[in-house]
Structure 1
Amino acid sequence: MSVKKIYLIRHGQTDFNVRGIVQGSGVDSSLNETGYQQAARFFAAYKHLPFDKVYTSTLQRTQQSVQGFLDLDLPHEQHAGLNEISWGVREGLRITPEEDEEYNGVLQQWNQGQTQARLLGGESPDEVAARQRPFIDLLRSRTAEESVLVCMHGRAMRVLLCQLLNYPLSFMDAFEHRNLCLYKLHYTGSMFSVNSFLDVMHLEECV
């Protein structure tokens, strides 16, 4: 097969991002003004590419981030496997590693390889990885789709990159992300590789 090109982006900025409030899969927030500007800049930079398919999570902030491409009538599929990790009872709250001992403790467990750990009512990285695998199988199997755009969420993106690149999930924090950042990946039919890491050049006038 020819090399499949995968343009993997995180959704644009939301007010929850600005305020440091955890969204997760249970908070279906919308882009803010900056997020829409980021989406417009990404579209302006990449609208010339012949994407065969656009994939998003089921949460509206991902669809809003690629709306320009959908307005071109490109084929679009939503997949719950691309949804953000569930942070359980902590969703909708402002928590940071410095302020919240439990939250910080779970992040440390993940970094130490205990990726079955979760916050109360939430998901573990292992569980996120399991629900992403059908989507990965889909990416592998659809050989006619030579160029695809995938929009998802920060923590879930880290999990997906670990799976595509055969890293342990404890490595996921090495994959940095920003709102509307881009990872370009190639799939040769046997392996995935990163062609571009944390590309934000299209956002230079949007900071």
Structure 2
Amino acid sequence: MSRAPIYFVRHGETDWNAEGRLQGQRDTPLNRKGVAQAAEAGERLRGLLGDGVGALPSIASPMERTRHTMEGLRAALGLDPAGYTIDPRLREIGFGAWEGLTWKDVRRTDPARSQARDRDRWGFCPPGEGAESYAMVAERVRPLLDALDRPTLIVAHGGVARAVMVTLGTAKAEEAPHLEILQGRILVFEGGGRRWV
């Protein structure tokens, strides 16, 4: 099935990103670098799409860091910062009891589960309420992706980007959890492939 292009932006940096903490579904604000990355993403979109960028439907995760990234990149483009929709299916993967910890903390305090995750990063679900596997996130975002019928801008999260890659067939389930998802850049899904801009 031929799909319309998707322009995917991971939210800008937060202090928790900088500290290597698992944010999951915790609301964390952008830091100064993250605000700059949102504007940078807007400039990259302008370079990619020119004046056509204003016609893109824009959808964001409901998390504070994604909404502020969307509003910052839209402002950098001279567009109405509020001219986008929110879709809860784009919220970040839930890390449950591990949210707020670093991976070093997780390995120290929960070594058995940490090792289980290392054996199956795609299918592993952390402990605690609201926790999800990447496979569960892929099932959550699939209906949204299947409904897109024209080029669309999405601002979401690293875990969601990995789920989108697998859902669209541009990465394998074993590979996607290991891929770096950049901030301030555009991940373009088009023509059955993916590329960073």
Specify the TM-score bucket, using the shorter chain as the normaliser.
0.7 to 0.9
Give 1:64's aligned residue.
Answer: 68
Aligned position for 2:126: 119
1:87 aligns with 2:111: no
Does the C-alpha gap of structure 1 residues 169 and 72 become closer, same or farther in structure 2, counting only changes over 3 Å? same
Q: How many residue pairs were aligned?
A: 184
Unaligned runs of 5+ in 2: none
- Inter-partner Cα distance in structure 2 for 1:49 and 1:3: 22
Q: 1:50 aligns with which of 29, 49, 52?
A: 52
Higher strand share: 1
**Structure 2: distance between partners of 1:32 and 1:79:** 23
Selected match of 1:160 from 160, 164, 167: 164
Query: 2:6, 2:188 within 8 Å by CA — same for their partners in 1?
Result: yes
Structure 1's 171 and 95: CA in aligned 2 closer, same or farther, altered over 3 A?
Answer: closer
Deviation at 1:41, TM superposition (A): 1.6
* 1:29-86 Cα shifts (integer Å, max 9, x gaps): 1100000011112212323352321111110111111213166138422111111110
**Aligned-CA RMSD value:** 2.6
Question: Helix, strand or coil for the counterpart of 1:151?
Answer: strand
CA drift at 1:13: 0.3
Q: Is the alpha carbon distance of 1:50 and 1:23 closer, same or farther for their aligned partners in structure 2, counting shifts above 3 Å?
A: same
Query: How high is the TM-score relative to the length of structure 1?
Result: 0.77
For residues 83 and 3 of structure 1, do their structure 2 counterparts lie closer, same or farther at Cα, with a shift above 3 Å needed? closer
Q: SS of the residue aligned with 2:174?
A: helix
Cα pair 1:106 1:119 within 8 Å, conserved:
no
1-structure distance, mates of 2:112, 2:141: 26
User: In the alignment, which residue of structure 1 is the partner of 2:38?
Assistant: 39
More helix by share: 2
Instruction: Check the 8 A contact 1:95/1:103 in 2, yes or no.
Output: no
Q: What residue number does 1:78 align with?
A: 86
Q: Summarize the Cα distance change of 1:3–1:109 in structure 2 as closer, same or farther, 3 Å threshold.
A: closer
1:104 is displaced (CA, Å) by: 3.1
Give how far 1:182 is off. 2.1
Aligned to 2:18: 18
For the 8 Å contact 1:53–1:148, the answer to whether it is kept is yes
SS in 2 for 1:157: helix
Q: In the alignment, is the contact (CA less than 8 A) between 1:106 and 1:118 conserved in 2?
A: no
Among the aligned pairs, what percent are the same residue?
26
Question: How far apart, CA to CA, are the structure 2 residues paired with 1:36 and 1:103?
Answer: 35
For 1:110, which of 114, 120, 123 is the aligned residue?
Answer: 120
Partner Cα separation in structure 2 for residue 120 and residue 3 of structure 1: 35
Q: Aligned to 1:4, what secondary structure does the other structure show?
A: coil
- Aligned 8 A contact 2:60 2:90 in 1: yes
